Structure formats: structure tokens, C-alpha cells
Amino acid sequence: MANLIRSPKSGNDWSKNELLAYNIAITPVSPDQFFRSGADPSLDHMDPALLTAPPGADDPGLSNVTTEYLGYLDLATSATQESLIDDFSAQTLKLLGFNERHIIISTRYVIPLTICGESNRSAQTDVCLLYRPTLILLVLVQDNTFSNYTDAESQVVAEAIAAFQFNNSKREGKGLPRLNHMTIPCITMSGTRPTFYLVPVTEELSTAVITGQYPATETQVWKCVTVAGDTRRDSEGMGDTAYRKLALRRFLAFKTLAKSRWQKILEGY
């Protein structure tokens, strides 16, 4: 694969070819292996209506928070524009408390990417978590169902590499040492169906992308798909209440996992 052609592509243009060209493998793993947390997190602290009411429910007895979230879910379930899925994804992160102190949820954030000697490329997130003043903690990419071609999986890896470059640049700007390794938590959303990733980015991989070279060390990305085991429920995504409960539990488990990876990124910050 070392002789594959490498060109200065922005993150949104990455495909499986770039994964091969930079020696990156994506490995599906079971939830037990991925989360390593035993039982799924409890949802007992949440409004039961969030878990059982249909998308778009507008009962006067529902809280404003619940009504708003179910409204976003309704729009995302029958989305005709990409922004509706982005909005729903951001609202899900907010609902589950990903935006802790000093962390904000941003949409359409552009991360600079240096690739093949060119520093004018970028990787545009659909949703990301920013630690103020600016570090990238998590990136989310929508699996674009509105076009005939999409490769959200490759794009989210590109964004993780861009986040590594960006975070180290910010650390250097504060007089902190560069980190040789960061694991960037990532999510892709196919409609309202989340898939979770842990993307380990090393200085070797980043340098290979910057110089357009083939890295000697393979990068192993872990991937965990959210499936309920029922074709109908899986196809309906979070519009189905059983799938919704499963997905929300997985989001909560991922928050715990992601926070453990952020500690390295925030080291000394």
C-alpha cells in the first residue's frame, strides 16, 4: 500500500483509499469490548417520557425539555435537510450532559488540516465538543443520506487526525509540550443511529499525513455499531422506543469512555 497515490484532500473528501494510503484499519468490536464498563448505564434519572413518548409528542403534561427533544427527534426521523440531523445530534449530546463545565457543543466547526505538504486544507465537523478556549475533544459526522455517495467513517478519521494537529498547535501556543498520542472519541450518525469510534492518532500518523508518506505502524481504530438485533427497530433508529433506550445508554457509556480519553488531551491545559 506504500505506493498508493496520496493527494492533499480535505477531510470531507476522504474515502477508504486514504485509510489504505495511511495504513489505517477500522475494527468492529462488541459493546462489551468497546466500553469495558459492564452493565449499560441507568436511564432512571431521565424523564420517562423521553424514553417512551413518540417523536413529536406535544402533550401539555410534558416538560419543555422533553417536548423540545422529541420535536428534534421527529424532525430528524423524517429529515429532508442535513441540518436537522446535526441539530438532533447536538441536542442529544446536550441532553446527556456532554457539555460539562468549559465544554461547549459546536456545529459545522472547521478544523485546519495539513496534508501532503499543504496547510490550506480542512476537516469540517457536523458537531464537535470544544474545550474553551479551544481544544477539540470529540467529533461527530453525519452519514449523508441526502447524496448517493458518502464515507462518514473515513471522514471522521480525517477529522480525528485534524483534531490531533489542531490540539497540539494550541498546546504549543500555551507553552505546553506536544503530545505524541491522542485518542479522539468520534461518532457517526446514520439518521438517528449512532456508531461510536476510538481513533488513536500518533505523531507518526500525523507526520505521515503531513508529508504524504506511508506510516510503518498500522493504526487500529475501534468501532462499535448500535444495533438492537431487530431489523425494523434498527431501521427506525431512535424513533423506535426500544432502540432509543439502547442508543441513549450507549451515548452515556461513551461519555464516560470519552472523558477518560480527554484527560490526556487536557494534560496541563
**Separation CA 219–CA 201 (nearest Å):** 8
| Other beta carbons less than 10 A from residue 261's beta carbon | 18
Q: Is residue 64 part of a domain?
A: no
Residue 18 lies in a domain: yes
Residue 70 lies in a domain: no
- Spatial distance between the Cα atoms of 233 and 125, rounded to a whole number of angstroms: 28
pTM: 0.95
Q: How many CB atoms lie within 10 A of CB 260?
A: 10
Nearest residue to 230 via CA among 219, 244, 210: 244
On whether residue 5 sits in a domain, the answer given is no
How do residues 32-54 score in pLDDT, each as one tens digit? 999 987 668 999 999 999 999 99
Is residue 189, in this structure, part of any structural domain at all? yes
148 has a pLDDT exceeding 50: no
Residue 76 domain flag: no
What domain count does the chain have?
A: 1
pLDDT in tens, 95-106: 999 999 999 999
